[in-house]
Chains A and B, each alone.
Chain A
Amino acid sequence: MGRLLVLFVALGLVSAGCKRSSEEQGAAGRTRIVFKFQPLWGDPAPFRELLAGYSRANPDVELVTEALPNSSDLAHQFFLTSLQGKATDFDVLVADVVWVPEFARAGWVADLSEDFPPARLREEFLPGPVDSVVVEGRTYAVPWYVDVGVLYYRTDLVPRAPRTYEELRRFTRDAMAKAPGIQGYVWQGRQYEGLTCNVYEAIWGHGGQSLGEDGRVLLETEPAREALAYLHGLIADGLSPQTVTGFGEEEARRVFQEGRAVFMRNWPYAWSEAQAEGSPIRGKVGIAPLPTKDGQPGWGTLGGWQLAVNAHVSPARRKAAARLIAHLTSPEANRVLALHYARNPPRLALYDDPELRRAEPFIASLKEALARARPRPVTPYYLLIADVLQSEFSAAVSGIRSPEVSLTRAQKQVDHLTGTTVEDAQ
């Protein structure tokens, strides 16, 4: 009966696909493959040209692109229902960095180890993204572009980028005394995935790890307690504005961009806006790895998107799909994405690419931060626990519950979701 219900849920999404999958053979006996992705912001011409390059090299394949909603949540919901329903109406899909282990364990994305051996990925790509696509020694996706959390600072207000949390607090206090009316450190404190990224960065900065030895998601730890206390303390001490608990990326960027904050934690995209013509803080912005407790460069959260192949499609389509992935993740494609769409390349070699260094010196400067980027807990259960993390972290950061209580509650719910409690009960 339950299976029927799931079927109903998926039916609406899949029915369109069923009709189309009978036309698997495209015009004139060509294999038809569908690439499902979120449109990139910016001039569509360079990307169209990139896709045309694939079509020219593969005349036996008819390539179709279909748009996904830009919201990661909605895109995930789409894949959840359609892949569960064994949809075959798309071949190549983009996966957020936390989805790959989940989809791999469910058997929804194809094993690509033959075309992209893990060892080769490790040689050519940044370590963080590779960790997020290699599950139990097999490759299930290829990194397409990457993102990392970094610290922005005002070069006219602070002597240099802070290395420790203590320095961050001191520099903020001094700058706020020097420039009355300015806000201190802005970051993402709203209850959503961005908050989880901020909290994990603080946990790593306090010496914590995301997973225990046995792969269990660890939350009731001393570094996690310190991290939450540190973030709440920023607000309680007035070093971060009260309103930060309602901030996403854009809210933080707007405040910083208008010159109303000393420090900001954000993704690299905020850089080009800050340095754009007419920006009030143009030429007064520095970018650095996040601070840590003991002063070593911090670990930013890894973000970004990967390309995977729908496991339900025929072998012929799977082959054509793997070729499309190879084309879209080639060094040449990395360069197009970096130059025209400011998407950071996952390939190491690109950071020494002379053309890129000349055109986008900023991207090259991110190499160190990207090399130290860490994924959120790599577990097939991530999407199940994300919601729990968001709410409990939010409670601790906004001071509704103490870090201890939040973490205990979070640990209990996470253990329930990952099956620890149910198994124990039996």
Chain B
Amino acid sequence: MPAVLVLAVVALYPVLAAIWLSLHRFILVFGERRFTGLANYVYLVGDARFWSALGNTAYFTAVAVTVELLLAVPLALLLNRAFPGRGLLRASVLVPWAIPTVVSARLWAWMFNPDYGLINRLLGGAEINWLGAPGYALHAAILVDVWKTTPFVALLVLAGLQGIPEDLYKAARVDGASTWRQFRAITLPLLKPALLLAVLFRSLDAFRVFDAIYVLTEGGPANTTETLSIYAYKTLMRSGDFGYGSALSVATFLCVVLLAVVWLKWLGREEGRR
């Protein structure tokens, strides 16, 4: 019972408070506060900036998680093999994940600098305006996220790999199955729950992305990298518009819940099938 109480205070109260606040026009600076019902949500539905933030967030999540998965599976397969120095390599791939996001984002911001950054120099003196051009900035942010979280996904996949009994491979080899066949017929299907779990973790996380993008671009240029979290943060903390900021937070919350429900349903189905 005390646990329920603690949970209610810690988890439920802020959510309910945000929902209640989102029904007000509440500008902190003016001490202005009055109930306006669903006015904030009516405005939200017609707010082009909200929809573009939602689109950016969805795009960022979909691309980043897909790429991370595609890179993490080979990486995990590699780490799963026995070779000298494996322990050291396993530990060292986690380094990007261990660096605080703000620090690594700052690092990347320098590397992306069009004038003296490392990236353009590596591309043979290209003059790509990574963080200032609309088409590039979001992809630059995705690159930073991929760099940072692929090791984490690889680790989840590795845990899944180690749960696959070695006997299955032995039997397959006796039957003369090729390595590719073994991967298709044994590894991938048995890895599916671990992959889905990784996707669940990562997409919920990526959907709330804030720090990396905020440090890289603050949502610019022209809000092409603005995610829901950044929009909500700016509205709440910079502008002190608590009513609309709360409405944005609630909208983000609903999206994440929806995403979680969809993934969990899928995960449950997979689990049930086994």
Query: Contact residues of A with B, CB < 8 Å?
Result: 1-2, 4-6, 73, 76-77, 80, 84, 102-103, 105-107, 189-192, 242-247, 251, 254-255, 380, 383-384, 386-387, 390-392, 394-396, 398, 400-401, 409, 413, 416-417, 419, 421-422, 425
Complex: A128 Cα to B33 Cα, angstroms: 33
- Contact of B127 with A243 in the complex, beta carbons under 8 Å: yes
Min CB–CB distance B136 → chain A (angstroms)? 10
Of the stretches B91-99, B195-203, B236-244, the one at the interface is B236-244
Q: Which residues of B contact A392 (CB under 8 A)?
A: 222
Q: Which residues of A contact B90 (CB under 8 A)?
A: none
Q: Does B31 contact A (CB under 8 A)?
A: yes
What DSSP secondary structure best describes chain B's contact surface?
A: mixed
Min CB–CB distance A164 → chain B (angstroms)? 28
- 22 A-B pairs with C-beta separation under 8 A: A4-B17, A5-B17, A76-B238, A80-B28, A105-B30, A191-B217, A191-B220, A191-B221, A191-B223, A243-B132, A245-B132, A246-B129, A247-B132, A384-B29, A384-B241, A391-B222, A396-B222, A398-B133, A398-B134, A400-B224, A413-B49, A417-B239
Min CB–CB distance A240 → chain B (angstroms)? 12
- Contact of A380 with B30 in the complex, beta carbons under 8 Å: yes
Q: Does B183 contact A (CB under 8 A)?
A: no
Q: How many chain B residues touch A (Cβ–Cβ < 8 Å)?
A: 48
Q: Does B115 contact A (CB under 8 A)?
A: yes
- Contact of B237 with A5 in the complex, beta carbons under 8 Å: no
Q: Which residues of B contact A422 (CB under 8 A)?
A: 25, 36, 39
Find B131's partner among A73, A246, A413 (CB 8 Å cutoff): A246
Q: Does B14 contact A (CB under 8 A)?
A: yes
Min CB–CB distance A275 → chain B (angstroms)? 22
Q: Which residues of B contact A391 (CB under 8 A)?
A: 49, 219-220, 222-223, 226
- Contact of A416 with B226 in the complex, beta carbons under 8 Å: no
Q: Does B21 contact A (CB under 8 A)?
A: yes
Complex: A243 Cα to B129 Cα, angstroms: 5
Q: Does B27 contact A (CB under 8 A)?
A: yes
Q: Does B20 contact A (CB under 8 A)?
A: yes
- Contact of B21 with A80 in the complex, beta carbons under 8 Å: no
Q: Does B210 contact A (CB under 8 A)?
A: no
- Contact of A2 with B26 in the complex, beta carbons under 8 Å: yes
If A245-B132, A247-B132 touch, whether A190 touches B29 (CB-CB below 8 Å) is no
Q: Does B174 contact A (CB under 8 A)?
A: no
Complex: A254 Cα to B223 Cα, angstroms: 26
- A-B pairs with the 9 shortest C-beta distances? A246-B132, A191-B220, A395-B222, A245-B132, A394-B222, A391-B223, A384-B239, A243-B114, A243-B129
Q: Which residues of B contact A246 (CB under 8 A)?
A: 114, 129-133, 221
Q: Does B218 contact A (CB under 8 A)?
A: yes
Q: Does B82 contact A (CB under 8 A)?
A: no
- Contact of A383 with B238 in the complex, beta carbons under 8 Å: yes
A242 nearest CB neighbor, chain B only: B129
- Contact of A191 with B219 in the complex, beta carbons under 8 Å: yes
Within 8 A of A (CB), among B41-74: 43, 47-49
A103 nearest CB neighbor, chain B only: B29
- Contact of A191 with B115 in the complex, beta carbons under 8 Å: no
- Contact of A1 with B238 in the complex, beta carbons under 8 Å: no
- Contact of A189 with B132 in the complex, beta carbons under 8 Å: yes
Complex: A394 Cα to B131 Cα, angstroms: 13
Q: Which residues of A contact B47 (CB under 8 A)?
A: 413
- Contact of B240 with A384 in the complex, beta carbons under 8 Å: yes
Within 8 A of A (CB), among B6-40: 14, 16-18, 20-21, 24-31, 33, 36, 39
Q: Does B234 contact A (CB under 8 A)?
A: yes
Complex: A243 Cα to B127 Cα, angstroms: 8
Find A245's partner among B14, B129, B218, B235 (CB 8 Å cutoff): B129
Q: Which residues of B contact A77 (CB under 8 A)?
A: 237-238
Complex: A398 Cα to B222 Cα, angstroms: 8
Q: Which of A76, A244, A386, A416 has the most CB of B within 10 A?
A: A416
Min CB–CB distance B116 → chain A (angstroms)? 8
Find B21's partner among A5, A189, A387 (CB 8 Å cutoff): A5
B40 nearest CB neighbor, chain A only: A422
Q: Which residues of B contact A2 (CB under 8 A)?
A: 17, 20-21, 24, 26, 33, 242
If A380-B30, A384-B239 touch, whether A190 touches B223 (CB-CB below 8 Å) is no
Within 8 A of A (CB), among B206-258: 217-224, 226, 234-235, 237-242
- Contact of B39 with A191 in the complex, beta carbons under 8 Å: no
